[in-house]
With several copies, the nearest count.
Chain A
Amino acid sequence: MTETPLLGSALPDTAGGEAANSLLAGARIGVVTFPGSLDDRDAARAVRIAGGTAVELWHADTGAEALRGVDAVIIPGGFSYGDYLRAGAISRFAPLMQEIVRAAGSASAANLLPVLGICNGFQILTESHLLPGSMLKNDHLKFICRDQKLRVENNSTWWTSDYAAGQEITVPLKNQDGQYIADEKTLDALEAEGRVVFRYVGLNPNGSRRDIAGISNATGNVVGLMPHPEHAVEAGYGPESASGRSSGTDGLGFFTSVLSKLVGGTK
């Protein structure tokens, strides 16, 4: 994952900044690679730009050491195992996923592993039952790649604390199977418990129920969403903004949120 040197830290290079930097760099965020993962290097880059240390995790590794002692995990986008059967259906059974499910969902409540599933990662989290519901093919049946506006509905999760509640952000969306679906009871419960974390604003790009773009588990350590915050962390390579030149960096908050929570010792 570290083939090419990355841009420096996105944090200001002030006196205090340096200390904060090294503090943040102490937080280790694992990024999972399955065969067919595509955005793993991008997610690792986002972690580094946010100031943290990215750690490669391999789908086939077994046992507790497979997690390499990371403080949080990102399951990135892509087409794991080709996604031919159902998105995420096969990855769910990877040995590493067993460890992630254990650490994120069933450990003692004080010590839950923060997990972010992006796109295919979200699909894998639903297939693994860490998050409820499932994904269908987009209602228009096509792959869609666009700059998508979202509203942050819940800023109290591990991955959204650096956003304001109700804040609107723009991040790229790109998928074929992104239509979020769950039964009415589940949807009502998600709404009631504040677990709808992101909603599509403006256009619902895939027919998702109640415009849901992302959700969390009850404890807020596990978050999944279809759009790609890791593609909106570096000016020049993100979504279009008012100034042109792909300068949108609205996705950075995901990575700074978890880092500040981790170094803030709230874990």
Chain B
Amino acid sequence: MPRIVVDVMPKPEILDPQGKAIVAALPRLGFTGFSSVRQGKRFELTVDGDVTPEILQQAREAAEKMLSNPVIEDVVNVEVVAD
């Protein structure tokens, strides 16, 4: 079944405690090549039938209205993934 992926990330100017905790821990495992990490959310919405333009529009709206908090997050990506 087709899916729509929605990616939501904390706004760049907003503190991201999750990312901060990870970037501090990575070197302990010997991973030293990363200067910062940000942690966001990835949603996969399964569509019942075909991904019509209306459905995609619904996903966009849901992304803005429910899946993200516009005060602190940005929707960085809404795309259809075939299986």
Question: Does A touch B (CB under 8 Å) in the complex?
Answer: yes
Number of A-B contacts (CB under 8 A): 56
Indicate whether A85 sits within 8 Å of B22 (C-beta atoms), given known contacts A90-B66, A93-B28, A127-B69: yes
For A36, the closest partner residue in chain B by CB is: B21
* Interface status of B18 (Cβ within 8 A of chain A): yes
CA distance A134 to B22 in the complex (A): 20
Which among B13, B14, B28, B69 is the interface contact of A89 at CB below 8 angstroms? B69
On chain B, the number of residues with a Cβ less than 8 Å from chain A's Cβ atoms is 17
Chain A residues with CB under 8 A of B69: 86, 89, 127, 134
- CB-CB contacts of A113-151 with B at 8 A, as 1s and 0s? 000000000000011000011101111110000000000
| Contact (Cβ within 8 A) B17 A82 | yes
Taken together as a complex, chains A and B put the C-alpha atoms of A82 and B23 apart, in Å, by 13
B29 partner residues in chain A, CB cutoff 8 A: 93
Bound: A258/B14 CA distance, A: 35
Q: B-side interface residues toward A, CB under 8 Å? A: 13-14, 16-18, 21-22, 24-25, 28-29, 39, 66-67, 69, 71-72
By Cβ-Cβ distance, the 6 closest A-B pairs, closest first, are A84-B18, A134-B71, A90-B25, A134-B72, A81-B21, A84-B21
